[in-house]
């Protein structure tokens, strides 16, 4: 975070150095831009760049007057115009932070905007921050407007405003409560006015008023139901508050045009869609390959057919052991809600042996419920209350059969908490050893989450140590818990419960992959995790949002430097992950652990040196996911996958270097990729099926398609799959085989 010093900066300094919050039309922060770059109107950006702003209205309750300011004649944009008390922009990288999360906007708290208002009221009007307590600001609504500064600069004006503006009211008992000491470089004059005086001034053709002020006054402040009519009602109730919709306005005709010849963008006073969910979810685009590209991978199409028709991951939920041990109705709910909150994990959990399946299923749901409590930024009145719920979760949720929680989370996560007694019913029927593991990990994870509640993560974690610590609490502990459950089930060696370091590394590899991929989504949500000690080496603005400005050549280059650095860091976890997998004996447990790992290495390969990470969510092809699942049967198959993608990352790095890209992480990237290839090469050479069996499968389905006998082709392919899986298990044994050996011994 940086300390902003307005006294040491000129008007041009503000234009060049202030970094505003670039938005999409739904007010999600999607990047950053200089004040100059966002306010320029030209043919490339006719209406500038949409960014966040605020407008403060300070009232004297005793006289029912509003404090106006006249902008200084030396202001670059809209000089000499009369406007509300103060109007400016929240900035990136400020201390206190000025970037509000979607949850804070939805709740109407907007501390970031209020901090920005305090900063600028002191800078422009000299009002001391002590006279401006945050709790006295009332956030009322937002408007999306734009206007070319054609009145000042003429019809080809190079400047203008394009903002989503937050309207804030502030009321003092008497104007003597605030100290005014005008900054003449910012403010030409001020005036306290009544409603009648304001109308008189606005009707004076010799006076200029800012277009945003005219819109706000006309729409909300004056008139029959105007907010100014009853300041007590406006400030003490939520009657006029609207935190969901965004009102949209084109400017008066005299503010159309500019150097970019900007045209009207909205139907008059069009209202934003208030039904849209706040937050990044569903707002950030997902980058997908073209249909042609996906269809060109015939082997992946076949893999999808195999999963759909042959279903090699058989569910064990219908086994006699499961039916006889657990309440059928409650278990059905748990299985159903698992599919809804995490479809990707459902299949690999269901294929686990019956004596382990439900233990892992409940372990996952308990932690998902805990995560829902931690993630909800609006349900709790204070961080202290949230921390109390987190710290007691292992007792309330796991010891009280009737415990549930309402009003926390959204959609299926909310339902999970509302109907948690059904989960508890199944949890209560687990083996004592399993319940002990689940309760212990839940308690320790909650303690870790509590450590991060209240931390400002808008700019990521502080350093790599904190980055690793966060990943340990939310993922490494999961790995430890799973290892202990594997050992308790008897399906794996008892020593697995002591593999704490390797278990932690497995979790960190998955979590770091997700954090790298979700850069933009997390940044927009106001809870980012890229470590500042890494990204600040590359951000020229000192702000994490700098990398989202992909129109800037330098920002794009630095973004890739940072991305490649973090991918390389994650790849250093691979040797330990491979070591962990080599210790497993049960085929189903191995698949459960290995499938997420191969998905992660494929995702890192997709993210490496990929600028799409900074403009949306990058995902691997669904067909590739299916192929990875089908071929993750043993160590040889997994090593083949890691070998393939490590070589791919190295190839991309060398290609970038050959093109002149001077990546600071290049040597480290090549070294770890070489290490991974060395570790996996032996298994790849001796394995004779696994990742490369698809040619035979394609022959089967190809013949079926050509002859019109697809069912026959699938039948033949199914036999080949079974034969292949049997051959490729190698040192793996199915749970049935392990059980048989136990009985014989």
Q: Which residues are catalytic?
A: 470, 517, 527, 592
The answer to whether 67 and 87 have CB atoms below 8 angstroms apart is no
Question: Which tokens belong to 415?
Answer: 């339902």
For β-strands 138-148 and 29-34, DSSP reports them as unpaired
Measured in degrees and rounded to the nearest 5, phi and psi for residue 388 equal -60, -45
**What is the phi/psi pair of residue 161, to 5°?**
-120, 145
Whole-number Å distance between alpha carbons of 529 and 522: 8
| 28 φ, ψ (degrees, to nearest 5) | -85, 135
Triad 514, 371, 316: Cα angle to 5°: 80
Q: What is the DSSP letter of 250?
A: P
Q: What whole-number distance in Å separates Cα of residue 712 and Cα of residue 701?
A: 9
Interaxial angle between packed helices 694-707 and 710-728, expressed in degrees from 0 to 180 and rounded to the nearest 10: 170
Whole-number Å distance between alpha carbons of 531 and 544:
10
CA separation for the pair 543, 697 (Å, rounded):
50
* Start-to-end Cα distance in the chain: 64
Question: For 219, which DSSP code?
Answer: I
Q: Are residues 5 and 119 in contact, defined by beta-carbon separation less than 8 angstroms?
A: no
Cα–Cα distance between 155 and 441 in angstroms, integer? 66
Q: CA 606 to CA 566: how far, in whole Å?
A: 13
Cβ–Cβ < 8 Å for 28, 100 = no
3-state secondary structure of 427: helix
Which of these, 592, 584, 581, lies nearest to 352 by C-alpha position? 592
Residue-level length of the chain: 745
Q: What are phi and psi of 286, to 5 degrees?
A: -105, 125
209 backbone φψ class: left, alpha, beta (φ>0; ψ -120 to 50): beta
Closest by Cα among 562, 677, 575, 648 to 613: 562
Helix (H, G, I), strand (E, B) or coil at 68: strand
φ, ψ of residue 579 to 5 degrees: the values are -65, -40
Q: Are 145 and 215 in contact (CB under 8 A)?
A: yes
Distance separating alpha carbons of residues 650 and 674, to the nearest angstrom: 8
**DSSP characters for 119-167?**
HHHHHHH---GGG--GGG-EEEEEEEEEEE-HHHH-TT-SBEEEEEEEE
Name the phi and psi angles at 454, rounded to 5.
Answer: 90, -15
The Cα 152–Cα 16 span in angstroms is 21
Nearest Cα residue to 39 out of 25, 53, 27, 59: 53
The pair of three-digit structure tokens given for residue 584, joined into one six-digit string:
């497993």
- With beta carbons less than 8 A apart as the criterion, state whether 608 and 665 touch: no
* Distance between CA atoms of residues 569 and 651, nearest Å: 17
17: CB partners within 8 A, 6+ apart: 9, 34, 35
Q: Which runs of E-coded beta strand occur in 149-224?
A: 160-172, 187-193
As a whole number of angstroms, the distance between CA 498 and CA 439 comes to: 18
Q: Rounded to an integer, what is the distance from CA 410 to the centroid of its chain?
A: 16
d(CA 256, CA 476): 56
Asked whether 573 and 679 are in contact (CB, 8 A), the reply is no
């Amino acid at each position: 975070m940086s300390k902003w010093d307005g006294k040491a900066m000129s008007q041009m300094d503000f234009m060049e150095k202030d970094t505003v919050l670039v938005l999409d039309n739904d007010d999600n922060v999607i990047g950053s831009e200089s004040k100059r770059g966002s306010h320029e109107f030209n043919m490339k950006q006719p209406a500038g760049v949409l960014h966040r702003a605020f407008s403060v209205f300070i009232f004297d309750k005793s006289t029912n007057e509003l404090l106006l300011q006249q902008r200084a004649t030396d202001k670059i944009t809209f000089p000499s115009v009369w406007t509300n008390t103060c109007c400016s922009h929240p900035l990136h990288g400020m201390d206190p932070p000025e970037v509000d999360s979607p949850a804070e906007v939805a709740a109407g708290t907007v501390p970031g905007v209020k901090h920005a208002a305090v900063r600028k009221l002191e800078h422009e009007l000299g009002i001391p921050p002590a006279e401006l307590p945050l709790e006295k600001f009332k956030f009322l609504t937002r408007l999306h407007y734009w206007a070319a500064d054609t009145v000042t600069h003429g019809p080809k004006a190079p400047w203008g405003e394009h903002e989503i503006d937050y309207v804030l009211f502030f009321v003092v008992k008497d104007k003597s409560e605030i100290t005014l000491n005008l900054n003449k470089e910012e403010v030409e004059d001020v005036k306290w006015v009544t409603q009648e005086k304001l109308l008189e001034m606005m009707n004076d053709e010799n006076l200029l008023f800012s277009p945003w002020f005219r819109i706000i006054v006309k729409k909300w402040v004056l008139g029959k139901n105007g907010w100014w009519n009853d300041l007590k009602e406006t400030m003490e109730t939520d009657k006029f508050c609207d935190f969901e919709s965004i009102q949209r306005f084109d400017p008066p005709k005299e503010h159309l045009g500019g150097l970019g010849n900007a045209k009207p963008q909205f139907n008059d006073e069009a209202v934003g869609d208030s039904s849209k969910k706040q937050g990044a979810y569903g707002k950030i685009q997902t980058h997908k390959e073209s249909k042609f590209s996906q269809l060109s991978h015939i082997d992946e199409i076949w893999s999808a057919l195999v999963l759909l028709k042959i279903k090699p991951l058989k569910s064990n939920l219908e086994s006699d052991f499961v039916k006889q041990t657990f309440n059928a109705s409650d278990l059905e709910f748990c299985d159903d809600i698992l599919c809804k909150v995490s479809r990707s994990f459902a299949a690999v959990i269901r294929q686990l042996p019956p004596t382990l399946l439900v233990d892992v299923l409940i372990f996952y749901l308990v932690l998902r419920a805990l995560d829902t409590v931690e993630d909800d930024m609006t349900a709790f009145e204070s961080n202290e209350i949230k921390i109390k719920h987190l710290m007691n979760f292992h007792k309330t949720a796991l010891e009280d059969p009737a415990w549930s929680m309402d009003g926390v989370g959204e959609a299926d996560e909310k339902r999970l908490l509302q109907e948690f007694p059904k989960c508890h019913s199944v949890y209560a029927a687990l083996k004592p050893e399993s319940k002990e593991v689940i309760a212990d990990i839940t308690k320790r994870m909650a303690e870790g989450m509590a450590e991060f509640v209240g931390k400002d993560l808008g700019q990521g974690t502080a350093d790599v140590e904190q980055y690793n610590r966060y990943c340990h609490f939310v993922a490494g502990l999961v790995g430890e818990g799973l290892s202990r459950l594997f050992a308790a089930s008897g399906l794996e060696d008892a020593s697995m419960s002591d593999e704490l370091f390797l278990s932690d590394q497995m979790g960190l590899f998955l979590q770091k992959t997700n954090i790298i991929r979700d850069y933009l989504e997390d940044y927009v949500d106001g809870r980012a995790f890229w470590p500042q000690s890494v990204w600040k080496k590359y951000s020229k603005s000192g702000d994490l949002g700098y990398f989202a400005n992909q129109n800037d050549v330098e920002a794009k280059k630095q973004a890739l430097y940072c991305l490649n650095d973090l991918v390389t860091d994650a790849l250093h976890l691979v040797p330990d992950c491979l070591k962990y997998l080599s210790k497993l004996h049960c085929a189903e447990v191995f698949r459960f652990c290995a499938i997420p790992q191969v998905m992660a290495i494929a995702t890192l390969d997709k993210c490496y040196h990929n600028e799409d990470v900074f403009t949306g969510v990058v995902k691997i092809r669904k067909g590739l996911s299916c192929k990875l699942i089908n071929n993750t049967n043993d160590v040889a198959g997994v090593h083949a996958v890691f070998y393939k993608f490590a070589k791919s990352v190295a190839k991309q790095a060398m290609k970038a270097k050959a093109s002149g890209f001077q990546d600071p992480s290049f040597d480290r990237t090549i070294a770890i990729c070489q290490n991974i290839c060395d570790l996996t090469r032996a298994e790849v050479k001796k394995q004779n099926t696994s990742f490369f069996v698809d040619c035979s499968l394609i022959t089967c389905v190809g013949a079926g398609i050509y002859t019109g006998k697809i069912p026959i082709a699938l039948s033949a392919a199914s036999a080949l799959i079974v034969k292949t899986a049997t051959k490729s298990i190698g040192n793996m044994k199915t749970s049935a085989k392990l059980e048989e050996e136990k009985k014989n011994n």
